[in-house]
């Protein structure tokens, strides 16, 4: 699984304008459950929001960075995801599943940015190069041959439409089960399977070696 080859990421602290505080040097020592924190945050408790941020920012930032392959874009997406989540806390039906709800929001933010990037590329506008590709995030002990394969895979992924790239990355790079991918993307399981198969076909078209097994229906 590709996820085992990728390094964990330490997110940068949020900008001063965001309604969340920078990540402290020492982790917050709290055993409060998300449901309790959400209830407090809904009552205007800024400390509860701060704690929710600290509990989940690393996971969100790491995943979004890998999905987007650009640290700068990911930083903005993470901030927007938390802003949206804190703004819409009253819409969360299951407070104990705040983490899954937040991650779905973050994936949506990543999707928006990937679509915008594709549009800019079609218009011929130049953007900064990707700096968080699979090859760049590979563990230091990754051998040269595998790094070359990851570099080719990065090139193939860059050509995929946003919705295909997301499902491929979530399943193969993040290790999510197909049902979880469907939940994160807000699609049916059948749609995810179709998108994953299309992504695999397009990637195989650009690769000399087929790295992954076929998606079973």
- Report the pLDDT value the prediction gives residue 193, as an integer from 0 to 100: 97
Q: Above 90 in pLDDT, residue 200?
A: yes
Could you give the angle at which helices 189-206 and 144-158 cross, rounded to 10 degrees?
A: 120
Alpha helices in the chain (DSSP H): 34-42, 46-68, 71-87, 98-122, 144-158, 162-168, 178-185, 189-206
Which of the two residues, 24 and 93, has the higher pLDDT score? 93
**What pTM did the predictor assign?**
0.80
pLDDT confidence bin for 166, thresholds 50/70/90: very high
Bridge partners (DSSP) of residue 138 are: 6
Q: Give the domains, in start order, of the chain with CATH numbers.
A: 2-206 (1.10.1740.10)
Greater pLDDT, 45 or 119: 45
For residue 12, what pLDDT is reported? 42
Could you tell me which of 171, 35, 10, 5 has the C-alpha nearest to residue 101?
35
Q: Using a pLDDT cut of 90, give the percent of the chain over it.
A: 58
Please report the pLDDT score of residue 190 as a whole number: 97
Task: Say yes or no to pLDDT of 14 above 50.
Answer: no
List beta partners, residue 6.
138
Contact by Cβ (8 Å): 17, 40: no
Cα–Cα distance measured from residue 26 to residue 164, given in angstroms and rounded to the nearest whole number: 38
Q: Rounded to an integer, what distance in angstroms lies between the CA atom of residue 104 and that of residue 201?
A: 26
Give residue-wise pLDDT tens across range 128-143. 678 788 898 888 888 8
Q: What is the percent of the chain with per-residue pLDDT over 70, rounded to a whole number?
A: 78
CA 36 to chain centre: 25
* Alpha-carbon span 100 to 87, nearest angstrom: 16
Mean model confidence pLDDT for the chain: 83
pLDDT (tens digit per residue) in 171-198: 999 999 999 999 999 999 999 999 999 9
Of 176, 200, 178, nearest to 189 (Cα)?
Answer: 178
Write down the pLDDT at residue 112.
94
Nearest residue to 112 (alpha-carbon basis) of 84, 86, 132, 93: 84
């Amino acid at each position: 699984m590709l996820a085992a080859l990728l390094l964990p990421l330490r997110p940068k602290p949020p900008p001063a304008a965001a309604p969340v505080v920078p990540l402290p040097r020492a982790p917050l020592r709290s055993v409060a459950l998300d449901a309790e924190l959400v209830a407090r945050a809904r009552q205007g408790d800024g400390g509860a929001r701060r704690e929710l941020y600290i509990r989940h920012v690393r996971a969100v930032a790491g995943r979004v960075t890998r999905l987007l392959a650009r640290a700068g874009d990911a930083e903005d997406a993470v901030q927007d995801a938390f802003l949206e989540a804190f703004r819409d806390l009253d819409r969360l039906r299951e407070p104990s599943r705040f983490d899954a709800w937040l991650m779905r929001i973050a994936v949506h933010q990543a999707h928006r940015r990937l679509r915008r990037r594709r549009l800019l590329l079609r218009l011929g506008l130049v953007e900064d190069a990707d700096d968080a590709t699979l090859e760049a995030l590979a563990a230091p002990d990754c051998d040269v041959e595998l790094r070359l394969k990851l570099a080719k895979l990065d090139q193939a992924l860059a050509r995929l439409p946003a919705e295909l790239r997301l499902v491929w990355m979530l399943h193969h790079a993040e290790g999510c089960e197909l049902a979880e991918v469907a939940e994160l993307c807000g699609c049916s399981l059948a749609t995810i399977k179709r998108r994953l198969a299309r992504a695999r076909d397009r990637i195989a078209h650009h690769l000399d070696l087929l790295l992954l097994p076929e998606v079973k229906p």
